Structure 1
């Protein structure tokens, strides 16, 4: 079966890269085309018009409410700790609303993570007007390095690159939402490919776990990442919050996503029927 899948490039996508390279998708009877995207708005626009069969993205996009194309949550894909980095000089007590905070989408789970971390560290949360739409994690890092924003949420390998560039860490999501499902894979609910796609991804994940950071680095380098960055990124996903983590989704994980959204969107109430439907197999 032909499948079109949208992912963000990065270390968390190595099971997809490995499944493609090792032929696991083909073994499962799937002909998979991977589209790399630079923003969730681009990714979700394709999903909503039925142009995609699977997406690897923030769980919040599907927890917030029903989308035009129904989905099933296939597996969680931890990306390591989500970390806010800032320009030098941002300090506790500084008014967060006076700063510019780079986000993929102001109404997204990663933006809520940023607001929670900033509030915990600076004492005030960025207002919606302080959030600057800059794109995916790579684009947020570039905006931070170029001085177009004062802080942004990053994950491996981009947090390592930020630290090496002298951009200090402000805090991480484990301090504010330790049970949060950060990234996940969703497939269309009307297609009978969930088990086959899941099996191929798991085969890719197990391959990389056996091959260790060197295998992950080789996959990333093969996708154009510089060798030193690929090595740093590979190390970043071989943690308890990365590739070795249990990929099975749970209701508790979705509830944590919903709680974070409700914290910054007081009118939001999670739909238990929707959450149950996401977990149905």
Structure 2
């Protein structure tokens, strides 16, 4: 006799569980000394006790316990207090605050790219440019992007994803001299996005694919998070050599959830290299 599959928990409940697991992981990495408390001998609890966090944050032990268990909603004020106690950095604090549940409905993300945005992407050539959806799936790109990395039309549609290219496309580790730093930061940003939508099937599909990579699995298990930081990224291209490109990210206001990414040359040599990629010379 077959049984019906267990339905997934409500979205809010899943998010609260993810938040609780993240707070617990950060509590366990601290010591009493880190927060100005005496370190009593014979402690068996790794990191801080829940009671210690609750006292320093100004909430009851029961409430903080329920927070880690994903049983309660809470306010931005409480989460900021807990973030300060747990010594979270700016990216981790932003990650925690993203779990504050809002009453406004979620806006549907369009699956198409407007003519205006497509025109902008193409006009950026020879500078690489691409449009991403909330899962970082590639929706549109120009010839510059295809020349710098690979032509996404050669990939299976499920593989046309920024994080897939970084972790599962073999040439990426050679193309990016700072691959570990870049990959780890991108995975931290992606985890922050995915954690807010735990029942999203595309996020679940991508995470399953990424966790087949040993580095991604190890870093993901640590619940590392990161925020986007404009930076200069190095590429070592087999056809034109070294490039230094500034990574620019813009939100498409009239297409909620879509982001426009461009790679701009940081010096004249990189500018010339991008042009040579287009001409094949």
Is the radius of gyration larger for structure 1 or structure 2?
2
TM normalised by structure 1 equals 0.26
Instruction: Give the number of the structure with larger relative contact order, counting CA–CA contacts within 8 Å between residues 6 or more apart.
Output: 1
TM normalised by structure 2 equals 0.26
